[in-house]
Structure 1
Amino acid sequence: MPLLVRRAALQAALALPALAARAQGRWPQRPVRLVVPYAPGGGTDVFARALAEGLRPALGQTVTVENRSGGNGVVGNEFVTRAEPDGSVFLVDSGSFSLNPHMVPNLSFSPLRDFTHVSLLSRFPLMMTVANNQPFGDVRALVAAAKAAPRSIGFGTSDAAISLAGNLFARLAGVEMVEVTYRGAAPMLNDLIAGHLPVGWNSTVAALPHIQAGRLRAFGVTMAERTALLPEVPTLQEAGVPGYEFAGWYGMAAPAGLDPAIAETMWSAIQAALQEPGIRGRLAAIGADLKPLGPAGFTALLREEDARWQQFRREGLLGRSG
């Protein structure tokens, strides 16, 4: 055998184990689960299911959504912290992920320490929604009714971030309202639509279909600018609550110790999924602001949020009003 041929054969033989190792280590080689720590039908669940649909072709693997609700997201969060960091389990959560440590006593985990941060998926405005059977027609009338009869009007919340949105409104509006907590947005929306609950705080993702169908009324959005989805709905600042501004978000994390290469691969798949026209159009149509951040950017955001919530705690804005 000529020398060059023998050398090429030897190089190929030496390369086979490396190629085999890379093939064995390629991720993902089994189905991926996205854990949503809230009940089915809420904004986080709706977003996660649309994302899972886009991730399947991007990853070349089955991607499922698993709901583990309870404790304002804590039950699902704890489940993910106990999972193996092998890339088979990811968490899709809302802004409550960073807020819970400042609102839940004796939390067993830290969002900054006990997770691998994968991506900020989307920001979105929250909105104040009101049942059709309520007598007040706008925010000013609601505030007047709440001042006339303190603690007579309840407002529904489904996670820690939405709880803060509602309590921040009560504090800045100078009213006393009663917080009613739910395990997810879907059961809260059911009570709102049925007229059993006067007021609810929701993501645009969860509430928009019901508002468009006339089953609920939107009194205000929480961000500093109106949403293009409901341009006729004022911001809460415009509606009479000076200084009110609050944004929600969805993000993805994984158990601590996840291989950074897997996090980067998932981040690339997320970008591909959110660029797919059908997925992007569906999520944009329900109010998602699709400007994701990768692992480093998401970590930086979580640190900023942690400092903000510490400041809010010092100012007394994190206590529940109910």
Structure 2
Amino acid sequence: MFKFAKLAACSLIAASLTTSAVAQARYPSKPIRFVVGFAAGGASDVVARTLSESMGNILGQPIIVDNKPGADSLIATQFVAGAEPDGYTVMVGVSSHAINASLYTNSKVDPVKDFAPIGMIGDSPNLLVVHPSVQARTTEELIELAKSKPTYLNYGSSASITMLATELFSDMAGIKMTRIPYKGSGQAVPAVMAGDVQVLLSSAITLLPHVQTGKVRPLAITSARRSPLAPDVPTVTEKALPGYVATTWYALFAPAGTPTPVVTQLNAALNTALANPATAQKLQAQGVDITPSTPAELQNFVQKEVVKWAKVVKDTGTANAPK
């Protein structure tokens, strides 16, 4: 009787493992969700929607973009970290992913331990722009204006990366500007165009079209070198602040515990999509420098980013800044 019961139990376990293996082998068998931590219309949303179509075609399942804005993407990261690790919930992470653990000390999400890295998408420079009414046409003039009128300038921020990038700029320049927070660049960009804030440092993805129409005035780009998309716009480091570089990166993450074969399949689909000329052209037209990676390379990169931005948070005294 005991032997029969033991045999039956073993059969059930084997059947369960077989069913699980078959289900995993059939991945994906239903739609996948891309979770974005910012409002629709922002930079990460544009990247997510560009990739969702291409990767959906490759994987043979639709990919639905789910915007969960708020708390500098903490709402989205907490949601993904707690999701079923089955490959059907994927986060389109940005630089904030590596920043928030040190910026918000009450955050319970570990950017390394709580996620399975899938792969890097690319890197995008930020633009420093002002409302056309601001009496500054260069970065140097903006710094002089801020020094002459210490309480005059407000700046919009839509994510922890843009806040810290602006705070680092202010710290290096020896100036002070008042932060006005927004849930995403989809709200921050209209605010600077309307003059509700005078200064904005945000992704080139969303700002370049408004630069071209003259609704905002570009002062500088935050990459180490000038961007081919805006060759006439100088870098911050050229004259104003030597050594200042602050770009925004984009990458895909799954919840920790997601099966390695699923992560490998998602990485392959991502890199195939990035190699597709049509997809690459769409991303590059938005200012994204495509930099595909393996999951291990992304893991190593994120670990370094956590250390880098923790130092900036400490040096600028911005921990637990208001959301």
Q: Same fold (TM over 0.5)?
A: yes
How much does 1:133 deviate? 2.0
Residue 32 of structure 1: aligned partner: 32
Q: Is the Cα–Cα contact under 8 Å of residues 178 and 321 in structure 1 kept in the other structure?
A: no
**Residue type at the aligned position of 1:209:** P
Q: Is the Cα–Cα contact under 8 Å of residues 118 and 252 in structure 1 kept in the other structure?
A: yes
Q: Is the Cα–Cα contact under 8 Å of residues 33 and 90 in structure 2 kept in the other structure?
A: yes
Counterpart-to-counterpart distance in 1, 2:49 and 2:216: 24
Residue 3 of structure 2: aligned partner: none
Counterpart-to-counterpart distance in 1, 2:182 and 2:20: 50
What secondary structure, in the 3-state scheme, does the structure 2 residue paired with 1:315 have? Answer: helix
Q: Is the Cα–Cα contact under 8 Å of residues 167 and 317 in structure 1 kept in the other structure?
A: no
Residue 268 of structure 1: aligned partner: 268
Counterpart-to-counterpart distance in 2, 1:195 and 1:158: 16
Residue 63 of structure 2: aligned partner: 63
Q: CA RMSD in A?
A: 2.0
Counterpart-to-counterpart distance in 1, 2:156 and 2:262: 38
Deviates more, 1:193-202 or 1:262-271: 193-202
Q: Is the Cα–Cα contact under 8 Å of residues 172 and 242 in structure 1 kept in the other structure?
A: no
Residue 45 of structure 1: aligned partner: 45
How much does 1:24 deviate? 6.5
How much does 1:289 deviate? 0.6
**Residue type at the aligned position of 1:29:** S
Counterpart-to-counterpart distance in 2, 1:245 and 1:258: 34
**Residue type at the aligned position of 1:212:** Q
**Residue type at the aligned position of 2:298:** F
User: Structure 2 vs 1, CA of residues 22 and 254 (structure 1 numbering), >3 Å: closer, same or farther?
Assistant: same
Task: State the Cα deviation string for residues 218-246 of structure 1 (Å, max 9, x = none).
Answer: 11111110101000000001241222112
- After superposition, residues 219-230 of structure 1 pair within 5 angstroms as 219-230=219-230
**Residue type at the aligned position of 2:310:** Q
How much does 1:256 deviate? 1.1
Residue 88 of structure 2: aligned partner: 88
Residue 143 of structure 2: aligned partner: 143
Deviates more, 1:36-45 or 1:273-282: 273-282
Aligned-residue identity in percent: 31
Residue 78 of structure 1: aligned partner: 78
Counterpart-to-counterpart distance in 2, 1:81 and 1:24: 20
User: Structure 2 vs 1, CA of residues 23 and 79 (structure 1 numbering), >3 Å: closer, same or farther?
Assistant: closer
**Residue type at the aligned position of 2:75:** V
How much does 1:22 deviate? 4.0
How much does 1:313 deviate? 3.8
How much does 1:317 deviate? 5.9
User: Structure 2 vs 1, CA of residues 99 and 133 (structure 1 numbering), >3 Å: closer, same or farther?
Assistant: same
User: Structure 2 vs 1, CA of residues 20 and 214 (structure 1 numbering), >3 Å: closer, same or farther?
Assistant: same
Q: Is the Cα–Cα contact under 8 Å of residues 210 and 216 in structure 2 kept in the other structure?
A: yes
Number of residue equivalences: 306
Q: Is the Cα–Cα contact under 8 Å of residues 99 and 310 in structure 2 kept in the other structure?
A: no
Task: State the Cα deviation string for residues 15-66 of structure 1 (Å, max 9, x = none).
Answer: xxx8996476321000000000000011000011001011111101011100
How much does 1:185 deviate? 0.1
Q: Is the Cα–Cα contact under 8 Å of residues 179 and 321 in structure 1 kept in the other structure?
A: no
TM-score, L = length of structure 2 = 0.90
Counterpart-to-counterpart distance in 2, 1:287 and 1:212: 14
User: Structure 2 vs 1, CA of residues 197 and 26 (structure 1 numbering), >3 Å: closer, same or farther?
Assistant: same
Task: State the Cα deviation string for residues 90-144 of structure 1 (Å, max 9, x = none).
Answer: 0002100000011112101101111111111111111111112222222111111
